[in-house]
Amino acid sequence: MSKFYFNEEQDSYDAIVVGTGISGGWAAKELCEKGLKTLILERGPMVEHIKDYKTALMDDWDFPHGMELSLDEKAKRPKQSRTNKGRSADSYKWFVNDLEHPYNETKPFNWMRGYHVGGRSITWGRQSYRWSDLDFEANKNDGHGVDWPVRYKDIAPWYDKVETYIGVSGENLGLPQLPDGQFLPMMQLNCVEQHFRDGVSKNFDGRVVTAGRIAHITGDKSFEGRTKCQFRNRCARGCPFGGYFSSNSSTLPAAERTGNLTLRPDSIVTEVVYDPNTKKASGVKVIDRLTKEKLVFNAKVIFLCASAVASTSILLQSKSDRFPNGLGNDSDQLGRNIMDHHLGAGANGKIDGYDDKYYKGRRPNGIYIPRFENLNGASKDKNYIRGFGYQGGANRKDWKTSIAEFGVGVKLKEAILKPGGWVMGVGGFGEILPYSDNKMTLDYDNLDSWGLPTVTFDAEIRENELDMREDIAVSAAEMLKKAGFRDIKMNNSKYNMGHGIHEMGTARMGRDPKTSVLNGHNQVHTVPNVYVTDGAFMTSSSCVNPSLTYMAFTARAADHAVQELKNGNI
């Protein structure tokens, strides 16, 4: 991706996209390829593919303190360092400085953010799963939240399009709760993971162990400007090979190749401008991050893809006589129903044998167990509703655990060369229900460096999720035991909202403008030329990683927007 430029004399475009991450990159690609002159705005600095992945080729010993941050850097990131990536020396720069970008917590909330071109598409976990009608119909069936205005058949062709373009490694399973897709060859399980797979299949009807479906190139299919995964497992540093999908390696270069893209980094969008005469949005207001100059850019259609919290913040800040509580907020749903995925519950165990087996490379993936509880719609198999899946993997312990007393000299050298025994871990990934009073609000008494209100989070998991977590731990231990593992230990650590880094639901879709912000095409009900296609639009959370769904909905919304423009409807 070459260096983009901004033409200061141009202030009007066919389309404006806010945000350059997973959703923003797809919006820019689709709109540009359909002929729209598109401005994409990013609040953070430029990141050029390959050139700006400064740590990609470094080894652990190349860092001054190994993978540990200096005390000075830790002090700047008291909240971002709540996650491994945010406190690791090789990837922390992809996460914001908390002192420069503060937020508030009524209840603990881990808001992990990356303000730069590419956003969290550089650091995402790459797990890519389709939703099924079990997910799209869940709210209607059990009465939580509002009904989704779409079903799987509406999104299936867009899943096809996205998977084919980004490259997803995986295995088709024929499971109704986890639809099959357009997959590249599956990453292989190691010997103990295969043992676990066989043991689960033998002892549990309806439970399947497979490799994670992951947005990495495997096999021989060609992807423009990208090559297959090198199994380095240094993904969080930025991949110079383009082995995994990111905006920087894939969608933004595709948009640039059309000649229709203008990218302006260091551009903080503060609000969407509403025109009461046309009853549409006319553009966006921007503050230059570096100079603090205030600017306005105009467009026929606007896509908010800044992330669930950031896009909703922009809508809440977009006040007018028509929308005194924020653009499109007639329903009072902006900021409400914030969701995530809860994690940190599961089990691990050891297994005898396979001491003559090892594995090659650093596979950036593990196993996946699709949801198997509460699959029959409205009825409840458990003392909770909805469900969970598992991620995990097996490896050999390092040398330390095999040494009763730390040796020196020859003994230490010999021990280092002998891998320890096999350990298998399985961790749950659970659905969080949409609760109306789980919310984010804006604090106008505490402003940031650009004079904008800061975000306050007031959200927590409830009894349903706590009961689910107990079952996650028990079921994980049960599977390990039946598969022949020993010394099994269950875990159920305290979870804070946001820790799954899948915040969503703050401007939900729905059928009724009285109870939702967006319609089934991601349009603001009352301002049809504004689309929101990041996590904000989610009406429920399912139990699978959401990014593939964001991309599919974004591609679908861009196609809809172009048709609506052609038809003169927006």
Q: Residues 112-143: pLDDT tens digits?
A: 999 999 999 999 999 999 999 999 999 999 99
pLDDT at residue 360, rounded to an integer? 85
- The percent helix, strand, coil of the chain (3-state, each to 5) is 25, 25, 50
Q: Is 273 exposed, middle or buried (0-12, 13-18, 19+ CB in 10 A)?
A: middle
DSSP tag of 86 = G
User: Of how many residues is the chain composed?
Assistant: 570
Top-confidence residue, 382 or 240? 240
pLDDT at residue 411, rounded to an integer? 66
pLDDT at residue 10, rounded to an integer? 77
The tokens describing 557, both together, are 């919304």
pLDDT at residue 400, rounded to an integer? 53
Q: Is 7 exposed, middle or buried (0-12, 13-18, 19+ CB in 10 A)?
A: exposed
pLDDT digits 0-9 by tens, 539-550: 999 999 999 999
CA quadruple 503, 209, 243, 362: dihedral sign: positive
pLDDT at residue 6, rounded to an integer? 46
What distance in Å separates the CA atoms of residue 292 and residue 295, rounded to the nearest whole number? 9
pLDDT at residue 416, rounded to an integer? 67
Q: Is the pLDDT of residue 405 over 80?
A: no
pLDDT digits 0-9 by tens, 189-222: 999 999 999 999 999 999 999 999 999 999 999 9
pLDDT at residue 359, rounded to an integer? 86
For 412, list phi and psi in degrees, rounded to 5.
-65, -45
pLDDT digits 0-9 by tens, 26-51: 999 999 999 999 999 999 999 999 99
The tokens describing 522, both together, are 């991601």
In three-state secondary structure terms, 58 is coil
pLDDT at residue 414, rounded to an integer? 66
Asked which of 71-75, 444-448, 563-567 is least confident by mean pLDDT, the reply is 71-75
What distance in Å separates the CA atoms of residue 501 and residue 504, rounded to the nearest whole number? 9
Q: Is the pLDDT of residue 324 over 90?
A: yes
Top-confidence residue, 211 or 404? 211
Q: Is the pLDDT of residue 402 over 70?
A: no
pLDDT digits 0-9 by tens, 167-176: 999 999 999 9
Answer whether 319's CB lies under 8 Å from 326's CB. yes
Q: 367-369 and 210-211 as β-strands: parallel, antiparallel, unpaired? A: antiparallel
User: What pTM was estimated for this model as a whole?
Assistant: 0.95
Estimate to the nearest angstrom the gap between the alpha carbon of 7 and the chain centroid.
Answer: 32
Where does the pLDDT of residue 1 fall: very low under 50, low under 70, confident under 90, or very high at 90 and above? very low
- For residues 267-289, give the mean pLDDT: 98
Where does the pLDDT of residue 409 fall: very low under 50, low under 70, confident under 90, or very high at 90 and above? low
What distance in Å separates the CA atoms of residue 183 and residue 270, rounded to the nearest whole number? 40
What distance in Å separates the CA atoms of residue 219 and residue 198, rounded to the nearest whole number? 25
Long-range CB contacts (within 8 A, 24+) of 60-67? 63/89, 63/90, 64/89, 65/89
Q: Is the pLDDT of residue 529 over 80?
A: yes
Asked which of 63-77, 230-244, 491-505 is least confident by mean pLDDT, the reply is 63-77
Top-confidence residue, 339 or 3? 339
Which amino acid does the sequence have at 163? E
Q: Is the pLDDT of residue 377 over 90?
A: no
Answer whether 531's CB lies under 8 Å from 490's CB. no
Top-confidence residue, 510 or 409? 510
- Classify domain 12-127+245-339+438-459+500-566 at the CATH topology level: FAD/NAD(P)-binding domain (3.50.50)
In three-state secondary structure terms, 411 is helix
CB atoms within 10 A of CB 123: 23
pLDDT at residue 11, rounded to an integer? 87
pLDDT digits 0-9 by tens, 69-113: 988 999 999 999 998 888 899 999 999 999 999 999 999 999 999
For 358, list phi and psi in degrees, rounded to 5.
-145, -170
The tokens describing 544, both together, are 């699978």
Q: Is the pLDDT of residue 4 over 50?
A: no
What distance in Å separates the CA atoms of residue 67 and residue 58, rounded to the nearest whole number? 11
Asked which of 6-10, 58-62, 241-245, 415-419 is least confident by mean pLDDT, the reply is 6-10
pLDDT at residue 401, rounded to an integer? 47
Sequence-distant (6+) residues with CB within 8 A of 559 are 30, 34
Q: 527-532 and 523-524 as β-strands: parallel, antiparallel, unpaired? A: antiparallel
pLDDT at residue 420, rounded to an integer? 85
Q: Is the pLDDT of residue 390 over 70?
A: yes
pLDDT at residue 5, rounded to an integer? 47
Q: Helix count (H) and strand count (E) of the chain?
A: 11, 19
CA torsion 180-181-187-191 (nearest 10°) is 10
Residue found under tokens 């409840």: 380
Half-sphere exposure of 146 (CA within 13 A, CB side): 25
pLDDT at residue 2, rounded to an integer? 40
Top-confidence residue, 218 or 360? 218
Where does the pLDDT of residue 348 fall: very low under 50, low under 70, confident under 90, or very high at 90 and above? very high
pLDDT at residue 3, rounded to an integer? 44
Percent of the chain at pLDDT exceeding 90: 89
Query: What are the structural domain ranges in the chain?
Result: 12-127+245-339+438-459+500-566, 168-225+341-432+460-492
DSSP tag of 244 = B
Estimate to the nearest angstrom the gap between the alpha carbon of 235 and the chain centroid.
Answer: 14
Answer whether 507's CB lies under 8 Å from 312's CB. yes
